[in-house]
Amino acid sequence: MEIERKFLIAASASELPAGPWTQLRQGYLASGPDGEVRLRDAGGALTLTVKSGAGLVREEREIELTAPQFEALWPLTEGRRIEKRRAVMAAGDLRYELDVFEGALAGLALAEVEFPSTEAARAFQPPAWFGAEVTEDVRYSNAALALDGPPDAPPADEGVAAR
């Protein structure tokens, strides 16, 4: 299970000292309200991932792929891809994954934080440089960004509380 909260960050936050950066490209083979199937190349680490559910808690299964397997499937993701750079930042017992998007999503930056339990996720107090929470806003899922592009309107000012 993946227990994760996601936040927008200000464009200036992408300048924070973090790193090293890993280049990622993701493409979606399937995506819908019940889950997604994606391919990811994270600096040469090739995976096929199946996620089910949405929001704070999701089930996730991941398998490694060989380069020929990945390249055979990659063309099937045409029109459903994202590119971003990722830096991982230590934060006590937690880690923040800072994603700075490129291409059609340039200017968008998100921070994701994974937790060992839903209780820990609910108790988390984000640092001041985190912006609005978008955990429950499906427009900010990577699959939705790949399919629909950036959201037209920002999330509501009050953010979205984790459930």
The catalytic residue positions are 28
Terminal alpha carbon distance of the chain: 15
Residue in the block written with tokens 């309200």: 33
Determine the residue type at 70.
F
DSSP notation for 141-157: SHHHHHHH-S-SSPPPT
Residue in the block written with tokens 């939705």: 144
Rg (CA), the chain: 15
